[in-house]
Amino acid sequence: MSSRINRINKLLGLKQGNSTSQKTLDGAPVVIRADPSRPPYFLKVFLQEMAKRKTITASTHTHSSVRRLDQTLEDFLEINPDTPGWKAEQAFVLIWKQGERKSGGLPRMTVEGEVDIAGEVEIARYFARCSQGAVPYDWDMDPKKSAQIDARLEAVASLEAEDDWERKLEEMMGRGKGGNAWLQKAELSLPSLLLWSWCKASRTNPRLPNLKKWLKEINNHPLVRAAA
């Protein structure tokens, strides 16, 4: 068994002897590669809800490109670590890999060894569809709602190009009309979940009143509180 684990670790580029990488990877896990400088906190919310409905396993591993990892990230995703892979309906593997965000479209996720999904927005969409409504979000088959969710996700993604994204977001929240009305309410939708994840990954400690109020309310949501 140890030789099999070592072969898997070598293929994935994992450090030998890392305690978080010595777990059996049976079947075809969903593999997410992310830079530790931008932890995908939204994954915690989705996976903890999925775990209520079916048997899943999730583990965290470290690629050899990472020289130093914050201790709080070592077990970032850890669900049913003692459950054998053959007993799980789905396995998820998070690999911290340095530089995964340099090309702009990362983090990346590989599903069943074939489908490559790039970027936080697309990965979040994948999990939203898989959750089948377990996590509140605005996605459904109605064209109007679909267009609305796309517009909100694009608004969140566009903030990354801003030099002072906190102030830009504060302005969007302050307007509170039209396309920005959803930012007035701290409801846990797919866009707000991504925005919360980004703020948490950026270690945002806002001085701006609208953003401060919004984050306080989102952080008190039961699903977010459980994943914090």
Same domain flag for 216 and 112: no
**What is the tens place of the pLDDT at every residue in 47-97?**
988 888 889 999 999 999 898 999 999 999 999 988 887 788 889 999 999
Given a cut of 80, is residue 5 above it in pLDDT?
no
**Residue 67, both tokens:** 């020289």
Determine the pLDDT at residue 7. Answer: 45
Tell me if 31 is assigned to some domain. yes
Bridge partners of 116, per DSSP, are 110
Give residues with Cβ within 8 angstroms of 176, minimum separation 6. Answer: 183, 184
- How many separate domains does the chain show? 2
Distances (CA, A) of 112 to 5, 11, 29, 31, 122: 18, 15, 7, 8, 16
Higher per-residue confidence, 33 vs 2 = 33
Same domain flag for 89 and 163: no
Tell me if 136 is assigned to some domain. no
CATH of residue 16: 1.20.1050.130
pTM of the shown model: 0.79
Domain that holds residue 112: 2-131
Domain-ending residue, one of 110, 131, 152: 131
Reported confidence tier of residue 140, pLDDT bands at 50, 70, 90? low
What is the residue-averaged pLDDT of the chain? 77
Given a cut of 70, is residue 153 above it in pLDDT?
yes
Determine the pLDDT at residue 190. Answer: 86
Same domain flag for 89 and 171: no
Tell me the residue type at 49: E
Q: Where are the alpha helices (DSSP H) in 51-142?
A: 120-131
Q: What percent of the chain has pLDDT over 90?
A: 16
Determine the pLDDT at residue 87. Answer: 83
Same domain flag for 158 and 105: no
